[in-house]
Amino acid sequence: MDKFRCADNEPSKIRQPVIQVIKIIDYGLGNVKAFLNAFKLLGINCDSAKVPEDINGASHLILPGVGSFDLAMKLFINSGMREVVEKTVLSSKIPILGICVGMQIMASSSDEGIKSGLNWIPGKVKKIKPTFDRKILQIPHMGWNDIAINKPNPILKSLNAPAEFYFLHSYYFLPSNENDILANFIYGENMPCAVGRDNIFGVQFHPEKSHDNGLKLLKNFSQV
């Protein structure tokens, strides 16, 4: 259903639709093309944003990322988009979804580096322990893993059971407030894999590589 906007003091005017446009923040990390293809498959307007002006008109933002925490922060800051993205997310309350390292830099800090994170959701990115119960775990954690949803949330609704997603990572985000944890996964330990606070969401796994459930999550996000 289309959303419409109409001023309260102008009830006689024709209501104009609010155009939905997903903007993928292209700061040098992450498979932007994969997200463009996924939203095209879903029939949802989507474009990349390489400079601050490209953020204009966004109804939703995706912050992708692969690689290290410090490199992601450096490239995001050097892109010149941090200020406009923070204004769009924190002041205008436009929904944003961080993916993998794109989610991790939403934290306060990381065991992986020395730079400060964005601190949009307070917490720390921690390294996965290489052993659990005397078993040696493969690091990075790579492949398909079920997730367990902690509480109802719009981006994780109506997923196919089992709720499997594709992971590739050596670190995970542990929020300071457990209420910000939306879902967990088990790889040796029980660890968070999805976080959320107000209009800010993040997932450790890769929905763009997770087939039907990945597409469902992206569609859900576009409707937040």
Tokens encoding 32: 């932007």
The catalytically annotated residue of 46, 60, 169, 208 is 208
Whether residue 208 lies in the annotated active site: yes
Residue type, 5: R
Whether residue 10 lies in the annotated active site: no
The catalytically annotated residue of 46, 60, 100, 193 is 100
β-pair partners for 203: 99, 194
Query: Is residue 140 a contact partner of residue 168, using CB atoms and an 8 Å limit?
Result: yes
The catalytically annotated residue of 60, 141, 169, 206 is 206
Whether residue 164 lies in the annotated active site: no
Tokens encoding 107: 């934290």
Nearest to 84 by CA among 110, 115, 61: 61
Nearest to 40 by CA among 24, 54, 26: 24
- Active-site positions read 100, 206, 208
